[in-house]
Amino acid sequence: MSNENRNRLKYLESTIEIDVRFSETDAMGVIWHGNYLKYFEDAREFFGLQHGMVYLDLYHSGYFTPIVKSEINHKNSVKYGEKIKVVAQLEKKQSAKIIFHYEVYNLATNTLAATGTTIQVFLAVETRTLELLKPDFILEWEGKQEWLNA
């Protein structure tokens, strides 16, 4: 999906800043490509804290939310010691999926370092079956979100 089309979608957003640690870099001193998924995870967790969709609440409501698809587009390098900003945008969807779009910015150079997307589904904790409809607690959460009702 192009950025132009995505910007037309309604979304709820959260932003987190992260210091790049030595252990997150490769031999060239830049963020190892696989660590971007960890940054996406940090952004989703922070999103949940900000907007009332905490992982343990999902679990206690009877659901796992595994990632079934992830994409990362690498644009520019980020070096050890620099700071990044990760913007996580939750896409409005009618289906029983959680879709986040990400933008990772290098704050030292003010450049876009990466973009990405993750798609999660709902699995019942007890049966490990895929839910085809949004769980009631998600519908209740969405009902409280002004961005979804606009």
Distance CA 114, CA 126 (A): 37
- Residue-level pLDDT at 98: 95
Distance CA 30, CA 150 (A): 41
pLDDT above 70 covers a percentage of the chain that reads 91
Residues 6+ apart with CB under 8 A from 78: 20, 30, 31, 84, 104, 106, 108, 113
pTM of the predicted structure, to 2 decimals: 0.89
Q: What is the pLDDT of residues 54-110, one digit of tens each?
A: 989 999 999 999 999 999 999 999 999 999 999 999 998 889 999 999 999 999 999
pLDDT of 149 above 70: no
Q: Domains along the chain?
A: 3-142 (3.10.129.10)
- Alpha-carbon dihedral angle through residues 4, 9, 13, 17, given to the nearest 10 degrees: -20
Residue with tokens 């959260």: 14
